[in-house]
């Protein structure tokens, strides 16, 4: 089965001068149909940049300097969305890919009823839709995201923050996307609200048949909702595997540290260790592994040779890691083995 989205060797630079900062340094990601792919990493690792670049919504001074983003339609047509014309892009963006970002709820227009704003999204997506039909659909979409249909005539200020963020999700679903990017969509909300929204998204994805790229700094959320998890560090993916493999046996030392930084939602408590140090300055990245300065397992080779994302020497199905420890299984430190 053809993956719905394939990101290949994506590069993004920031800056107009001749000394730009490389914020995405060759990202490869595959999203299968119907799957929830989680992307986790500390702030500044390039997660949001990845979402905006892959949807071609990257604001200046961000610039895509290389790579491909293939999107496969439900009818099997495969296109590189980085190479669509502006006209093609306008229609494709609204037809296939939608994005809900952190704080999206603040972009609702305060002077219009939420039903009208969803109805406008519906008519933009399907011109010629009757007004009454669009409003009815808006009410249905509100129900889908857990808001009573009679709130369709409410103004944004009459809804709680959690409800407004759900309205934004309803608007994204109005576009009948194949791929829904969610960039920290629930970060501003309390834990109970986050949990409810996440459960709804996973349920809707099954009912409506879209795929999700879910971006967060909180890897413990992903363990709950994602099928697969990709861990980002310094503008690249350093590990990707099934959610349970990443959770139970993270292979990359950074993934290991990140999992140790959040309390697990279920199961035995782990000691929260955190990761000493801070991410490298991307403008002055030394050669070799970008995690070398913080890595408890650093070796000589790590400071000269940049590790590439590849299957591990253990040959675990579906797992890829960018770390020299995994070139030879004998090197695995006890904490990362098992």
Tell me which residues touch ligand SF4 (CB under 6 A).
252-253, 289, 291-292, 295, 297-299, 302, 307, 323-325
Contact stretch for Mg ion (CB under 5 A) within 33-41, 46-54, 171-179, 289-297: 46-54
Please choose which of ligand SF4, Mg ion, none residue 324 contacts, taking the beta carbon within 5 to 8 angstroms, the exact cut-off set by kind. Answer: ligand SF4
**Taking the complex as a whole, how short is the minimal distance between the CB of residue 272 and Mg ion, in angstroms?**
22
Q: Which is nearer to ligand SF4, 164 or 252 (CB)?
A: 252
Q: Which of 48, 72, 178, 320 lies at the binding interface for Mg ion (CB under 5 A)?
A: 48
Residue nearest to Mg ion (CB): 48
Q: Which is nearer to Mg ion, 39 or 122 (CB)?
A: 39
**Taking the complex as a whole, how short is the minimal distance between the CB of residue 25 and ligand SF4, in angstroms?**
14
Q: Which is nearer to ligand SF4, 31 or 295 (CB)?
A: 295
Q: Is 186 in the site for Mg ion (CB under 5 A)?
A: no
Q: Which is nearer to ligand SF4, 22 or 137 (CB)?
A: 22
Q: Is 216 in the site for Mg ion (CB under 5 A)?
A: no
3-state secondary structure the chain: CCCCEEEEEEEEEECCCCCCEEEEEEEEEEECCCCEEEEECCCCCCHHHHHHHHCCCCCCCEEEEEEEEEEECCCCCEEEHHHCCHHHHHHHHHHHEEEEECCHHHHCCCCCCHHHHHHHHHHHHCCCCCHHHHHHHHHHHHHHCCCCHHHHHCCHHHCCHHHHHHHHHHHHHHCCCCEEEEECCCCCCCHHHHHHHHHHHHHHHHHHCCEEEEEECCHHHHHHHCCEEEEEECCEEEEEEEHHHHHHCCCCHHHHHHHCCCCCCCCCCCCCCCCCCCCCCHHHCCCCCCCHHHCCCCCHHHHCCCCCCEECCCCCCCCEECCHHHCCHHHCCHHHCC
**Taking the complex as a whole, how short is the minimal distance between the CB of residue 298 and ligand SF4, in angstroms?**
4
**Taking the complex as a whole, how short is the minimal distance between the CB of residue 43 and Mg ion, in angstroms?**
6
Q: Which is nearer to ligand SF4, 272 or 304 (CB)?
A: 304
Binding site for Mg ion (CB under 5 A): 48
């Amino acid at each position: 089965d053809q993956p719905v989205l394939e990101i290949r060797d994506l590069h993004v630079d920031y800056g107009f001068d001749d000394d730009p900062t490389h914020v995405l340094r060759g990202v490869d990601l595959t999203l299968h149909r119907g799957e929830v792919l989680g992307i986790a990493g500390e702030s500044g690792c390039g997660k949001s940049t990845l979402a905006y670049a892959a949807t071609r919504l990257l604001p200046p001074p961000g610039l895509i300097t290389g790579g491909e983003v293939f999107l496969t339609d439900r009818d099997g047509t495969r296109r590189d969305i980085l190479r669509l014309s502006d006209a093609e892009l306008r229609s494709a963006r609204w037809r296939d890919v939608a994005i809900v970002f952190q704080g999206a709820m603040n972009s609702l227009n305060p002077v219009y009823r939420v039903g009208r704003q969803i109805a406008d999204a519906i008519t933009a997506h399907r011109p010629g839709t009757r007004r009454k039909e669009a409003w009815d659909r808006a009410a249905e979409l509100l129900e889908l995201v857990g808001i009573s249909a009679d709130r369709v005539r409410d103004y944004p200020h009459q809804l709680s923050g959690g409800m407004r963020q759900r309205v934004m999700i309803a608007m994204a679903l109005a576009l009948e996307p194949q791929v829904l990017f969610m960039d920290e969509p629930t970060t501003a909300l309390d834990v109970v609200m986050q949990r409810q929204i996440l459960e709804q998204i996973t349920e809707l994805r099954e009912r409506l048949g879209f795929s999700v790229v879910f971006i967060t700094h909180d890897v413990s959320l992903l363990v709950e909702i994602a099928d697969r998890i990709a861990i980002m560090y310094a503008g690249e993916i350093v590990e990707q595997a099934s959610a349970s493999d990443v959770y139970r046996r993270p292979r990359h030392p950074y993934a290991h540290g990140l999992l140790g930084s959040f309390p697990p939602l279920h199961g035995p408590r782990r000691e929260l260790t955190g990761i000493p140090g801070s991410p490298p300055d991307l403008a002055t990245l030394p050669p070799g592994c970008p995690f070398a300065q913080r890595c408890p397992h650093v070796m000589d080779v790590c400071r000269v040779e940049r590790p590439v994302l590849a299957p591990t020497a253990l040959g675990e199905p579906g797992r890829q890691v960018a770390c020299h420890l995994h070139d030879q299984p004998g090197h695995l430190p006890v904490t990362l083995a098992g």
